[in-house]
Copies of this chain bind each other. A is one copy, B any other.
Amino acid sequence: MRTKSESRRNTILDAAFQVFLENGFSAASMSEISARVGGSKATLYSYFASKEELFVAVIHQFADDQFAELLGMLDLQADLAVALEEFGACFIKLVSHPDLIRMYRNVVGESSHSEIGRMFYARGPQELHKEVSLFLQQCMAQGKLRQADSHIAAQHLVGLLYAEMRDATLFGILENPAETAIQAASQRAIEVFLRGYAVPGTVIT
């Protein structure tokens, strides 16, 4: 007898990702997804019980994929400013990528009438926050940063990194910022962060 294959499931997930990306949740149609998979709608529904369930699966995989690369890239050995600037540039690059922006919009758009927002948050931003928070805590212990609540500091760091481009990308004013612009924004953010969390006794230059 035949068995449902994992690869088929992934094919569906890929097609669904495309369609959701292009149309958003409500405007995406299950017929189009199944058409793009190449199979029939019945098959689709044998893998995923509903449109919403499929969307959730897509979001989960997407969050896992995207945020994975950022996790663990903070290096305690390296110079703090350099490490943070590199991390910052990667972060900004990720969160201003057109695909992520579109998915982000879709997730946010659905957050009023479902659990999708919470799920996405837990898998993406939340995970990242933990990582950054832990890193900063260790920096504080090493005396590279002043003593403070590392959770708040992590949020401040990410907030500063978001600061220059978040609204502009979300609302469609800015798309695909240049690598150099990203690095510059990261540097500016990190400079302010490091000043804000400098150890006591430091003299501002």
Count of chain A residues with a beta carbon within 8 Å of a chain B beta carbon: 54
B204 touches A146 (CB 8 A): yes
Residue from B159, B160, B199 within 8 A of A204 (CB atoms): B199
Mask, A102-125, CB within 8 Å of B = 1, is 100111111111010110110001
B159 touches A24 (CB 8 A): no
Give this chain's copy count: 2
A151 CB to nearest B CB, Å: 9
Q: A105-B112, A111-B105, A160-B156 are in contact. Are A201 and B200 (CB under 8 A)?
A: no
Tell me whether chain A's interface is mostly helix, strand or loop, or mixed: helix
Q: A156-B160, A196-B196, A197-B192 are in contact. Are A109 and B105 (CB under 8 A)?
A: yes
Give residues in A with beta carbon < 8 Å to B.
Answer: 23-24, 26-27, 102, 105-113, 115, 117-118, 120-121, 125, 146, 152, 155-156, 158-164, 166-168, 170-173, 188-189, 191-193, 195-205
With contacts A26-B26, A146-B204 known, what are 8 further pairs, Cβ within 8 A? A105-B111, A105-B112, A111-B171, A117-B171, A125-B167, A159-B159, A199-B204, A202-B204
